[in-house]
Amino acid sequence: MRFRGKSIRRKIVALLLVPLVSLVAIWAFAAWITSRGVFALFDVERVTDKIGYPVENAIEALAEERKAALVRLADPHRPGSLRDLRTAEQATDKAVGVVRDNSRNADLRNRLDAASLHRLDGLVAQAADLETVRRKVDDGQIATTAAFTAYNDEIDPYYSFFHGLNPLQSVALDRQARVLTELSRGREAAAREDAVYSAGLAAGRLTHAQQLQFADAVAQRRLLFDTYPQLLPASDSRLFDDYWNSATGRALRSAEDRIVGADVDAHPEPGSSDGLVVSAGDWQATAGSVLGDLASLDRQAAENYKGRVTPFAVGVLVKAGVAGGFGLLAVLVSVVVSLRTGRSLARDLSALRKEAQEASGTRLPRVMRRLAAGEEVDVDTEVPRLEYPEDEMGAVGRALNTLQRAAVEAAVRQADLRRGISDVFVNLARRNQVLLHRQLTLLDTMERRTEDARELADLFKLDHMTTRMRRHAEGLVILSGAAPSRQWRKPVPLMDVVRAAVAEVEDYERVEVRRLPRIGVAGPAVADITHLVAELIENATVFSPPHTTVQVHGERVANGFVLEIDDRGLGLTPDALLDANLRLAETPEFELSDTDRLGLFVVSRLAQRQGVRVSLRESPYGGTTAVVLIPTALLTEGIGDSDTGEQRAPAAVARQAVREPAGDRGLPDEIELPVTDGGGDEAFREWGLVAEAPCEEVPARTRRFEIAEQRADRLGLAPATDRSARPEGPEPSARPDAPVPLPRRRHAPVLVADNGRTVDGVRRTTAPGGDAAGREQRPAPQATPGGLPRRIRQASLAPQLRADDTTRTRTATPGAAAPATDDRDADEVRSRMASLQRGWQRGREEADDLTVPDRPTGPGGDDTGTTSEGDGR
């Protein structure tokens, strides 16, 4: 059987309750047995008075009626025989009536056991048979010997009732009670002698059958009185011995011997002996005296027995009380000891339980938190060695203390192992970053040196892959708990941050970025926000079909700014979505075995570090939408040239290509251009880049040189004939040598207005000298209703480009082979790229300088990409 109690106290109580209940049950049973015997002794007197004496009176009355009936049958004509019979019958009826009435007494019946009650009810029912015998006697239809047997059958059940009346627990007293019953039966034997011989006297002759009945009665009487008085106490035994040694006793024995020894024929003849050897007077005097004396002796022995029973009952009661009291005291002591023992065990176990709970719920988690925070933990301080008593409970306490110390030591070793692994990750990542920085520098050199368009395109791709590798290396640093190397001190426009994030994604051509408000991101958070958004955008591009786009848009909210990244993929199941949101919200400890979701861990770490809230939900397109809530504390208002350092930013995002509708230009959806220097080392210093941070650039360098040529052809940009012709401006180059704040060499994210038009909201300040000269030579182009420069085909194209128009056309055609460039050198290529960039910069400046009087409409009457708030949404 399993005990379902939950508390330790209940289990201990259950453990001690079983023996206690057993002990109490045994004590109660013993007390009940003892008390029952004691009360049975006290009931002897009451039972004797209520049923013992009435039964004995009924036996005596039946004996008198038997004698009168036998005399009546022996001589029906004897005077007074009928009167004596009726008197005896009345006495018998009275005595039996008393027995009948007392047998119905409820108190008496409660004091008798079941066997005695059954025999008592039998006596009452047997009284009805007596009427049958009486009718036969009255009618003379029964012989003397038969009547003698019938009356004996009526009397014998009374003695059986005496034998089973209230058996006592005391062997001596019970034996004395049985002895008294047998002595009463001996007196009944003497009465039978008197009845048989009196019938012979009345008939004038003793028959042989009557002589045999007389002899049986004599033998029974002598056996009983010779045997049972010896079993009584000495005083009672002496009474019977003295009586039988008296003259009356000797006279009865002498008469019995003569009657039994008389010569009585079985078939008497006239003149034969009649067997009446004792005269009627002598017999009546002797038998009557003996029967009276025996009745007195029986009553005296019964009174003496009652006198012995009462003190014995009191003594037994005292002994039972003392035993019961000691038993009860033992039970109470056992209960008290059990409760104290149980309470002590419960207290010790509760202390151990509290200690275990404190270790598992407070101490170990605190140690784990401290270890996770990088603090040093002293095992002896956190889990001191405690002293316990030298017993089993103390052994359990010591084992528990050892277990706690082992757990803390294991946690410390695990933390040291994790710290070592993190250090290894950081070391490897830093080494990779150094190598990648050197690789990017080498790629810069190669890009400046090459003249082949295909090679330049491949170098751009390799440059882009290297930048992605640098981001992944930085992800290892973040997972290891270290801070990234890229740091800014001054705010950066949010649009630049998003563009930089898009530029770090492999499928950046598929990303469409709607115009964002002119707000900035605090410098210390720029690197983390850029990395976080890049991870989410890359996840959107990876898990969506390649022909679909990923949209990035945002708006102000009460608690900051919300960026939403929508993809058109298959989406996530509800369980997977819930699991991803839990990982993003709770920032679980990074497990080395869970390598399939490194991006989620990186995003979660970055979001926790900057207080950004990131969540995933189902997108309207059936895919997944990542919602990034940037808190107000990380945002700055009114970003301008003085704050952002748009010229000071390393090429900023003005180098980015702008996506235009294919129908407007007949070109592929994305234009990729090489990067020129936008301000030199001074710009980097003004952006507040940490000196020891590795090199970083914003995405501006793109895919194919031949597309760049055709783009320059359409925009009408004239290349500079010589790099040194630009006064006071830094030499254009494929990459700055100094570190920069944002990712490098990618397609610009596509800025899309609400009506589907592509827009660009970043104003570029070019290098001094070169761009100024260009402005003096060319009038400002007309503006579109949206404020952008209107393109005039080949209006500003350099003479060299006009001369090679056929080659440019072939280069701009998708799939066309690159033209031969055997006669061009690196300076010419750089001049062309510089001219192209200056044309873009000039166009943006002129577009920004134009004012928009009314909200223009695009083709088909749709709104352009500007709202009343000016955020381009």
Residue 634 C-beta-side C-alpha neighbours within 13 Å: 25
Among 8-12, 303-307, 563-567, 774-778, the range scoring the smallest mean pLDDT is 774-778
Q: What percent of the chain has pLDDT over 90?
A: 18
Tell me which of 444 and 273 has the higher pLDDT. 444
Answer for the pair 751, 513: CB distance below 8 angstroms, yes or no.
yes
The residues near 408 (Cβ < 8 Å, ≥ 6 apart) are: 363, 364, 367, 377, 379, 382, 383
DSSP string, 322-378: HHHHHHHHHHHHHHHHHHHHHHHHHHHHHHHHHHHHHIIIIIHHHHHHHHHTT----
Return the exposure string of 683-721: e unless at least 16 CB atoms fall within 10 Å of the residue's CB, then b: bbeebbbeeebbbbbbbbbbbbbbbbbbbbbbbbbbbbe
Tell me which of 265 and 161 has the higher pLDDT. 161
- The secondary structure of residue 854, as a DSSP letter, is S
- The secondary structure of residue 386, as a DSSP letter, is P
- The reported pLDDT for the residue numbered 826 is 67
590 confidence band (pLDDT: 50, 70, 90): low
Distance CA 451, CA 658 (A): 24
Report the chain's mean pLDDT, rounded to a whole number.
73
405-432: pLDDT as tens digits:
888 888 888 878 877 877 887 888 888 8
Distance CA 179, CA 162 (A): 11
Among 137-151, 199-213, 787-801, the range scoring the smallest mean pLDDT is 787-801
Rounded to whole angstroms, what are the CA distances from 823 to 445, 828, 829? Answer: 21, 10, 11
pLDDT at 533 exceeding the cut of 60: yes
pLDDT, average across residues 637-662: 40
Among 216-225, 468-477, 656-665, 738-747, the range scoring the smallest mean pLDDT is 656-665
Answer for the pair 550, 544: CB distance below 8 angstroms, yes or no.
yes
Distance CA 27, CA 173 (A): 26
Distance CA 66, CA 50 (A): 25
pLDDT at 204 exceeding the cut of 70: yes
Query: Cα 596 to the chain's mean position, in Å?
Result: 32
- The reported pLDDT for the residue numbered 800 is 40
Q: Domains of the chain, with CATH numbers?
A: 16-329 (no CATH), 440-861 (3.30.565.10)
- The reported pLDDT for the residue numbered 624 is 93
Distance CA 639, CA 645 (A): 9
For the chain, the residue count is: 873
- The reported pLDDT for the residue numbered 2 is 55
pLDDT, average across residues 73-82: 87
Q: What CA dihedral angle connects 79, 85, 86 and 91, to 10 degrees?
A: 140
- The reported pLDDT for the residue numbered 850 is 53
Among 254-258, 319-323, 523-527, 864-868, the range scoring the smallest mean pLDDT is 864-868
Distance CA 645, CA 656 (A): 17
- The reported pLDDT for the residue numbered 389 is 76
Strand order of the sheet with strand 635-637?
Answer: 492-493, 519-521, 635-637
Among 114-123, 466-475, 701-710, the range scoring the smallest mean pLDDT is 701-710
In this prediction the pTM is 0.42
Among 371-385, 460-474, 611-625, name the most confident range: 611-625
- The secondary structure of residue 508, as a DSSP letter, is G
pLDDT at 676 exceeding the cut of 90: no
- The reported pLDDT for the residue numbered 815 is 38
Q: What CA dihedral angle connects 457, 461, 462 and 467, to 10 degrees?
A: 140
767-789: pLDDT as tens digits:
333 343 334 444 444 544 444 45
Q: How many CB atoms lie within 10 A of CB 315?
A: 13
230-263: pLDDT as tens digits:
888 888 889 898 999 999 999 999 999 999 888 8
pLDDT at 737 exceeding the cut of 70: no
Q: How many CB atoms lie within 10 A of CB 539?
A: 23
Q: Regarding beta strands 624-631 and 613-618, do their DSSP bridges make them parallel or antiparallel, or are they unpaired?
A: antiparallel
Among 119-128, 281-290, 582-591, 720-729, the range scoring the smallest mean pLDDT is 720-729
- The reported pLDDT for the residue numbered 822 is 46
Indicate the residue type of 73: L
